[in-house]
């Protein structure tokens, strides 16, 4: 795999998709439809998907591509593939809350190894470099020339005073009950894959997700967390979360710094 080419292409496509998304986000009105699973989809999802898919297929024609917005790709079966959520956090987008991201990732042998998470409304971009380490690039962003980068490392957690991040739109009692097992210094909430990025940057120690997610929701953030020295684990078994599962549905999971002493489910 040409990881240098992949880094360049993923970063550029994320920025291009982010620009298109923000054009629609800042317009007076945009259409919202409902998919068969009752989740919302907007013209921004579709425009970003078309842009990213075309770019990835041109650059990497031999790699399978799975995207949230193209149902025909969901019947693919592979252990190594590209996977895209062109607009993660559509509810945040529709409600104009800003916590939405562009997610592009490479999965190799069932493990996300490279990825980019771009939050255009927040001017934050996180991605893996050629060597697999994770960075946050400082705004403003130039599509053709990376700017200043800060290498990301997960926290050295204090298990008596943890910073915990949870979903902004999908918080439930089961999540609160699990969080209550820990000694928390503070809690924060975030939408979309930004929760993974808060783990990767050391801004949070623990992110439990007890709810439905799909692999395109998590792969890019998972790669960034891993590149920062973190881990993403199956909630019940505490084994590494794997990808390429039938239907691309995830089990419940935990993303955390390795210094967090995890509690049983």
C-alpha to C-alpha distance for 169 and 89, rounded to whole angstroms: 9
C-alpha to C-alpha distance for 103 and 107, rounded to whole angstroms: 13
List phi, psi (to 5°) of 126: -120, 140
261 among annotated binding-site residues: no
Specify whether the CB–CB gap between 136 and 201 falls below 8 A. Answer: yes
Max CA distance (Å), the chain: 50
Q: What interhelical angle do 3-25 and 43-59 show, nearest 10?
A: 160
6 among annotated binding-site residues: no
247 among annotated binding-site residues: no
124 burial (CB, 10 Å; 0-12 / 13-18 / 19+) is middle
85 among annotated binding-site residues: yes
42 among annotated binding-site residues: no
217 among annotated binding-site residues: yes
> Which parts are annotated binding residues for Mg(2+)?
68, 85, 87-88, 217
Binding site membership for substrate: which residues?
68, 87-90, 217
Binding residues: 68, 85, 87-90, 217
């Amino acid at each position: 795999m040409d990881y240098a080419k992949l880094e360049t292409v993923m970063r550029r496509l994320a920025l291009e998709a982010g620009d298109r998304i923000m054009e629609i986000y800042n317009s007076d009105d945009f259409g919202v439809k409902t998919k068969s699973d009752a989740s919302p989809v907007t013209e921004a999802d579709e425009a970003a998907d078309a842009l990213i898919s075309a770019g990835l297929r041109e650059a990497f024609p031999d790699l399978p591509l799975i995207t949230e917005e193209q149902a025909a790709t969901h019947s693919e079966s592979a252990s190594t593939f590209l996977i895209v959520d062109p607009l993660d956090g559509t509810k945040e987008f529709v409600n104009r809350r800003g916590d939405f991201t562009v997610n592009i990732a490479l999965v190799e042998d069932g493990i996300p190894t490279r990825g980019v998470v771009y939050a255009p409304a927040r001017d934050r971009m996180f991605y893996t470099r050629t060597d697999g380490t994770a960075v946050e690039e400082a705004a403003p962003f130039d599509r053709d020339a990376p700017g200043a980068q800060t290498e990301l490392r997960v926290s050295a957690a204090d298990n008596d005073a943890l910073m915990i991040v949870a979903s902004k739109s999908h918080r439930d009692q089961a999540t609160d009950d699990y969080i209550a097992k820990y000694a928390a210094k503070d809690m924060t909430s975030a939408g979309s894959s930004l929760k993974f990025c808060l783990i990767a940057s050391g801004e949070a120690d623990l992110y439990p997700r007890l709810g439905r997610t799909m692999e395109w929701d998590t792969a890019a953030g998972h790669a960034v967390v891993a590149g920062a020295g973190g881990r993403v684990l199956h909630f019940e078994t505490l084994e590494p979360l794997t990808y390429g599962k039938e239907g691309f549905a995830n089990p419940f999971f935990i993303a955390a710094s390795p210094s967090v002493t995890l509690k049983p489910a």
